[in-house]
Amino acid sequence: MIDLRSDTVTLPTEEMLEAIRHAKLGDDVYGEDPTVNRLEEMAAKKMGKEAAMLVPSGTMANLVSVMCNANRGESAVLEADSHIYWYELGGISAIAGVLPLPVKGTLGVMDPADVEATIRPKGLHMAKTTLVCIENTHNRAGGTIVTPSQIEAISKVAKEHGLRLYMDGARIFNAAVALKVDVQQFTRHVDNLMFCLSKGLSCPIGSIVVGSEEHIQKARRIRKILGGGMRQAGVIAAPGIIALEKMIDRLEDDHHNARLLAEGLNRMEGIKIDMRTVQTNMVIFSVEDLGVKADVFVKKLREHGVLAGNISKTRVRMVTHRGIEKEDISKALTATEETIRELRGKKG
């Protein structure tokens, strides 16, 4: 099976497994796990912020961050297709008690004027807006990048209105590698962020919340109330250290493979891709012109040895990662062609 469902399916490297075996451990709830402490220091330094905190998942990282940045009964501007709004079970409202104010972006990027227009006016009847969230790279838009200058423009609006700016940077290293700039170009204009170790960076578990010393102190209390205080979490942190040291540059291979995949798919009749969205390690395409639903297409494709995800009635997502080689791309393209032929044959 060629698994293109997500970069979350990556398995740890041998070196990571060795590092887990030999990690120096302690109780992280007491702040005494030396491996966690080292990873958190490394992460903060890499992002150009004061402090960082390890959490089990990206979803928890976003929830902790929203709760740190906004109080119950306040509101947050976010992109209408963002992960927080779509894929986190409504935790922003169900648990954080924050009202989401969705703004439709272009290729995952909100127009600063739309952000400004969405901020609730001050007043007795209003859920006061205190937070703006961006997502980088943007998942449902196809792994698209919010560039440093676009972040700066949104941050200007946020500052003018006294709002915090938070970045779901689950795949921020994909953005940095794709644009060949230091990751701090993306982090300098946001107040705080999170990024994931468990996606393209190949760790088995883990995400990191990053921000000021004060932000992380508050985040530690919120992580604990959500049940995310972990004990010998060095077993999670040890591969994270390897990820930050050695797994970032290779994301370029994933981007190269995604481009090959997109170009191949784009040549196939019945498949529609907006090539502007192919910027990092994702390829999203429509199968509408084939006259089949995306879930049917994905099921058929599976019979040909390729796993993909259906993200709407018409759209399919494929994600490249460390488990996918160049040869797998050719095989996946052949399997897709066969799938299309079969679906067409059935119809006609």
Q: How far is it, in rounded angstroms, from Cα 137 to Cα 124?
A: 36
Reported residue count of the chain is 348
Q: How far is the CB of 126 from ligand TLP (least distance, A)?
A: 28
Binding status of residue 6 toward ligand TLP by CB under 6 A: yes
Could you tell me which stretch among 52-60, 107-115, 226-234, 333-341 binds ligand TLP (CB under 6 A)?
52-60
Q: In Å, how far from its chain's centre is CA 304?
A: 28
Q: How far is the CB of 156 from ligand TLP (least distance, A)?
A: 24
Could you tell me which stretch among 12-20, 21-29, 58-66, 109-117 binds ligand TLP (CB under 6 A)?
58-66
Preceding peptide of 137 cis, ω within 30°: yes
Q: How far is it, in rounded angstroms, from Cα 143 to Cα 59?
A: 17
For residue 109, what is the DSSP state?
Answer: B
For 161: left if phi > 0, alpha if psi spans -120 to 50, otherwise beta; the answer is alpha
Q: How many CB atoms lie within 10 A of CB 220?
A: 17
For residue 290, what is the DSSP state?
Answer: G
* Nearest CB to ligand TLP, comparing residues 32 and 87: 87
Q: How far is the CB of 303 from ligand TLP (least distance, A)?
A: 22
Query: Which residues, 81 to 100, sit near ligand TLP by CB under 6 A?
Result: 83, 87
* Nearest CB to ligand TLP, comparing residues 151 and 290: 151
Query: Which residues, 329 to 348, sit near ligand TLP by CB under 6 A?
Result: none
* Nearest CB to ligand TLP, comparing residues 6 and 155: 6
* Nearest CB to ligand TLP, comparing residues 59 and 343: 59
Helices (H), 101-233: 112-118, 148-160, 172-179, 184-187, 213-225
Q: How many CB atoms lie within 10 A of CB 311?
A: 18
Binding status of residue 135 toward ligand TLP by CB under 6 A: yes
Query: Which residues, 167 to 206, sit near ligand TLP by CB under 6 A?
Result: 168, 170, 196, 198
Could you tell me which stretch among 23-31, 53-61, 118-126, 321-329 binds ligand TLP (CB under 6 A)?
53-61
DSSP 12-42: PPHHHHHHHHH-----GGGT--HHHHHHHHH
Binding status of residue 57 toward ligand TLP by CB under 6 A: yes
Which one of residues 130, 144, 155, 207 is an interface residue with ligand TLP (CB under 6 A)? 207
For 234: left if phi > 0, alpha if psi spans -120 to 50, otherwise beta; the answer is alpha
Single out the residue of 337, 303, 301 nearest to residue 318, CA to CA.
301
Q: How far is the CB of 205 from ligand TLP (least distance, A)?
A: 8
Binding status of residue 217 toward ligand TLP by CB under 6 A: no
Strand partners, 138: 144
Q: Is 330 helix (H, G, I), strand (E, B) or coil?
A: helix
* Nearest CB to ligand TLP, comparing residues 8 and 330: 8
Which one of residues 10, 65, 69, 139 is an interface residue with ligand TLP (CB under 6 A)? 139
* Nearest CB to ligand TLP, comparing residues 195 and 297: 195
* Nearest CB to ligand TLP, comparing residues 106 and 330: 106
Contacts 24+ apart (CB under 8 A), 93-98: 95/63, 95/67, 95/226, 96/63, 96/66, 96/67, 96/70, 96/72, 97/71, 97/72, 97/73, 98/66, 98/67, 98/70, 98/71, 98/72, 98/74, 98/131
Binding status of residue 264 toward ligand TLP by CB under 6 A: no
Could you tell me which stretch among 57-65, 112-120, 285-293, 333-341 binds ligand TLP (CB under 6 A)?
57-65
Q: How far is the CB of 60 from ligand TLP (least distance, A)?
A: 7
Q: Which residues of the shown chain bind ligand TLP in the complex (CB under 6 A)?
A: 6, 8, 57-59, 62, 83, 87, 135, 139, 168, 170, 196, 198, 207
